[in-house]
Structure 1
């Protein structure tokens, strides 16, 4: 009887310790220190919160804008929570005679077309768009890419979120890169 009670007590203590440690993990704030605007000044705190998951320490890396030129051909922004990459936004400029190559057949589940720019796709963990920009001075292609961690999202919600984020990103990119100006 004592052995059974001791075994039960020991098992209960182990179970309680695991349960309590699980609860302490849950108490991490939902990225409370996101700046009001992130990534080239495009995205608001509420835009990115669904991708941030739980954590304490938020860091953003990247330039303040995406004003791309023939000399400055790319800009990338990363947002990290507790050292883990949670969101990425990048813009790349190249001459119109070069092409951006995607391999949508390698993306699983398969991407959906995204009716933005010249060509766009959205998938569970991100989106991509290419737009041709023509101005009185020059012409160029602009590729925009978004990616993010969807760990804390419910299945089926991410594509709508990435579609909305890409629309916002494309609008800002066209202004900042002077696409069509």
Structure 2
């Protein structure tokens, strides 16, 4: 069974890009959360980097962490926007990839439809034969309920051509399968 990625290079590239974006998002979120925990746990006094520079001091670790948190939040927003765009592109590429996959499996699909049709024709003949027997029993006023309720009502009427088997065969013909 071919995958959509195997059937469409465009689709495969987009799925890879989505995985990269998801990985980047996970890393950014994990880093941001770690920094936020560290900031919350840090009890030192905070001096903004611009003030520290005026004082001739190095910026505090807490201030640098806050700056990095802001950068990560911006990155997360950018990654979310990129993810929405890639998701739309994947959606657009999905139809073409599905068509290519369907073209690849069409011969096997047709073989299996034909196999089901052949089995249904055998079932239809058995169903009609069973219905004939039941009608013969009813014509002789034989109460055959003691044999068990074995009528396959789910198949519909065997004689009028509107049963489920007849409908399936009609749909298969209309879909172009050689039955």
Category of TM-score, reference length = shorter chain = under 0.3
Which of structures 1 and 2 has the bigger CA Rg?
2
Give the TM-score normalised by structure 2: 0.20
Greater strand share, structure number:
1
Give the TM-score normalised by structure 1: 0.20
Greater helix share, structure number:
2
By relative contact order (CA 8 Å, sep 6+), the higher-ranking structure is: 2
